[in-house]
Structure 1
């Protein structure tokens, strides 16, 4: 039997900044492990087809924009029985070589874990509140409408675990999806992301599915990454409507 890869990773591509993407790709390629990176190109014209040439990279063109979750799910059959760990990675995330090595050690040490994620920082060093409690409708509305923030300040405060010490590891309800490191076996059992979400809320949904699997998600701030974070739904009406649509699907599926 062929020996498994230590880790596989997938990045879904659409409207990417090439400089940021190249930096992200290199961060992964620099890991001293047996690895494979899948680049899933959701652009109709195969925009990223000839940009990255490396023996550890597999390029996949979907031919159309199938969305975030469905894009990552393209590789499910390619990683089954192939890797020990699988990384869901955004195209604007940067990290040091030892980050993934240390996260893998934590996964190996705890059989109850399906997924682990590090502390996330903005490029300016400020903290991103990437670990959260499952969202309330009021919290989602307050995040998108500035005039509501003062009314729901405490809801947002609690929803982002600001009542906890975020410098210590703990089992979070959900962790935003810019960087999810899974046991590959568990990612397969989860059947990846629910493809009914084109964009937004699929990271919350998969954390709910991890609960249903009887496993946990660990927020592990001993390791740090940098995430550019575009916050597109706050600036683009079409993305905002996508977010609303996904929220409706989420609450219809899991309840309020």
Structure 2
């Protein structure tokens, strides 16, 4: 059996820029908590960074094909369920001060009813990224895609609230999701029917089902580059549309 740790983390890769990826990796590894990082690589070719591959706090898994975000994240569920107390799902294009991880863990420890916590998210220029939202209807996804009916979009993003204060949103964007491992395991991680997109909204619904809450905690923040690829590439648009169909068939 592997040593118990306080926190595990997973970053799913797909042909990432190494400079950005290293920022995410070392942001997490800087925490003083006992930790282990899983790099799950869906890329077309494996990593060759020997320093990363030799790091004892990193496990590198090359999948040899693109499994999608959900299935790749779920590969390590059996390993972390007895190993870590907290589990972080992290995007490869993020960076942050390592001490925020400890503060978020402490907040989770204080709240038995909370299964998931997330910080505020900022763009690289320091502007706010609206990362929490209400559960969408099909209409909401359409108007967001077409950038119509902005009042409705703002309401969906809780812009009518003071988002400088912690609160319990319906859904949280998936770039930095910190779970209690026991709850992540209880809901069986992400629904693998989603190849890409809407898996973060779906997992928030699954948390509702087990009677737990999600906490938005803007007292700390991270930087997320937020690559807007979905509107540029037809294949990614297809993934988005396909995930939306699966989501509404499942939950409506």
Q: For 1:135, what is the secondary structure of its paired residue?
A: coil
Partners of 1:228 and 1:40 lie apart in 2 by: 20
Partners of 2:217 and 2:48 lie apart in 1 by: 33
Contact 1:122 1:229 in 2 (8 A): yes
Tell me the equivalent position of 1:165. 162
Unmatched segments (≥5 aa) in structure 2: none
Deviation digits for residues 12-68 of structure 1, max 9, x if unmatched?
A: 001211100011101011111110000001124324574613110000111110000
1:61 aligns with 2:58: no
Contact 1:115 1:216 in 2 (8 A): yes
Deviation digits for residues 135-169 of structure 1, max 9, x if unmatched?
A: 121221122224xx1xx212101100001110000
Partners of 1:124 and 1:40 lie apart in 2 by: 29
Tell me the equivalent position of 1:227. 224
1:240 aligns with 2:251: no
Normalized against structure 1, the TM-score is what? 0.95
1:31 aligns with 2:28: no
Contact 1:42 1:64 in 2 (8 A): yes
Q: Equivalences for 1:171-210 in 2 at 5 Å?
A: 171-210=168-207
Partners of 2:215 and 2:131 lie apart in 1 by: 12
The more displaced of 38-47 and 153-162 is 38-47
Tell me the equivalent position of 2:114. 113
Contact 1:39 1:59 in 2 (8 A): yes
Tell me the equivalent position of 2:81. 80
Normalized against structure 2, the TM-score is what? 0.96
Contact 2:29 2:98 in 1 (8 A): no
C-alpha distance 2-229 of structure 1, shift in aligned 2 (>3 A): closer
Unmatched segments (≥5 aa) in structure 1: none
Contact 1:197 1:249 in 2 (8 A): yes
Partners of 1:173 and 1:17 lie apart in 2 by: 32
Q: CA RMSD in A?
A: 1.4
Tell me the equivalent position of 1:122. 123
Tell me the equivalent position of 2:16. 16
Partners of 1:2 and 1:10 lie apart in 2 by: 17
Q: Equivalences for 1:144-163 in 2 at 5 Å?
A: 144-146=145-147, 149=148, 152-163=149-160
C-alpha distance 75-138 of structure 1, shift in aligned 2 (>3 A): same
Q: For 1:192, what is the secondary structure of its paired residue?
A: coil
Deviation digits for residues 204-243 of structure 1, max 9, x if unmatched?
A: 0000000001000000000100000002111111101110
Q: For 1:143, what is the secondary structure of its paired residue?
A: helix
